[in-house]
Amino acid sequence: MTEDPTVPIQDIAPPPQGPDEVLHVVEDQADAIFTWDYAKGARPGLDRLYEKAKTSQWNARTDLDWSIEVDQEAVVAANAVANDRGRVDLSGTRLERWDDATWTRFGIESQNWMLSQFLHGEQGALVCTAKIVETVPWIDAKYYAATQVMDEARHVEVFATYLHEKLSGAYPVNPHLGALLDDIVRDSRWDMTYLGMQIMVEGLALAAFGFMHQLTTEPLLKQLLRYVMSDEARHVAFGVLSLKELYAELGESELRERQEFAYEAAVRMRDRLVQQEVWERMGVPLDEAMTVVARTPDQKIFQQMLFAKIVPNCRKLGLLDANGGWLRDRFAELGVAEFEHLPDTGEEYEMFALAGAETTPA
């Protein structure tokens, strides 16, 4: 990564990407690693996770009720009533002239955009986890990663089905999410694939899915997200359990490189959530949209809470304390250091197990 993390993402020119691009190629120079040590259980935490994954598979086609009709206008209206946070000051912006129909359209576009980015992120996880199977040197990690490849294929399937059968339009991958995925895949070191995908992208996704599960009134999406969250918690735990051993052996300079990678990824993911493409489609210049976003009372809280899983996991990996607490200081600047002492995901994945429950874990 070469971006200056002190510069807001919306001020950085995204990499060129054709709007009609279907296939996207990223060069990957990683070594494929075979291991002839087949001793299962040498890493008990990974072995337990693998056994849990084998009994936690679900079928996207038969375990979800796809007969549920989704009326996007009705969903937008119901969500607005259920999650009323009061009015936002729109004075001096063109949004103060929007009528109810325009706000409904904005809500629908926001739904389409968010689910589209979930879909693209899940394909990124699919590719990255397949790479982990190839590159990680431990058999217990290869076993578990293979189950996650199946999980991610199911997630791509379920989000693609929901987006194309229940919603009204799709968005291409956000350029900054796409650039982050490219960086993660391009790096030849297997631990950087873990750090970028399992800890950062999947950690934020787990929190985002939890928020949407809590806020949506649409029953099919609520059920879909609950199933996906049960998998995602194991995926984040996989990263924590795998990297803790390795990072305990790294020197300060190597850890600093991982700290900088984690911080840049955090800034990218935070700032891409402004839904730039939605504002553009609604004819609102980005600077004016940022004015509205800044006035939204819950926006800062929302952005902060998305890191509720990332920060404690970085602490568990030793990344907060390394190099005089460099990453802790950066997270403090982002306003998310307060989450340091929340439970890490190394063991709490059991909380997210389905067990017939349809409520968001605390």
Q: Which tens digit of pLDDT belongs to each residue from 222-266? A: 999 999 999 999 999 999 999 999 999 999 999 999 999 999 998
Q: Per-residue pLDDT for 6 more than 60?
A: no
- Residue 182 burial (C-beta neighbours within 10 Å; 0-12, 13-18, 19+): middle
Confidence of residue 105 (pLDDT cuts 50, 70, 90): very high
* CATH number of the 43-52+100-352 domain: 1.10.620.20
Question: Which sequence spans correspond to the domains of the chain?
Answer: 43-52+100-352
Which pLDDT belongs to residue 248?
94
Q: How high is the pLDDT of residue 300?
A: 66
Which residues, including other chains, have CB under 8 Å from residue 72's CB and lie 6 or more apart? Answer: 107, 108, 111, 167, 168
| CA distance linking residue 341 with residue 260, whole number of Å | 21
Q: Which region holds residue 335: left if phi is over 0, alpha if psi is between -120 and 50, else beta?
A: left
Q: What angle do CA 247, 178, 300 make, to 5 degrees?
A: 75
pLDDT tens, position by position, 275-308: 889 999 999 998 888 888 877 766 667 777 778 8
In this structure, are residues 40 and 143 in contact, taking their beta carbons and an 8 Å threshold?
Answer: yes
State the pLDDT at residue 309: 87
- pLDDT for 352 equals 86
100-135 vs 175-186: helix crossing angle, rounded to 10: 0
Query: 297 vs 51, which has greater pLDDT?
Result: 51
281: part of which helix (H) or strand (E)?
helix 276-281
Does residue 221 register a pLDDT over 80? yes
pLDDT tens figures, 61-101: 999 999 999 999 999 999 999 887 667 888 888 999 999 99
Measured in degrees and rounded to the nearest 5, phi and psi for residue 357 equal: -80, 145
Q: Which residues of 113-142 are buried (b: 16+ CB within 10 A; e: fewer)?
A: bbbbbbbbbbbbbbbbbbbbbbbbebbbbb
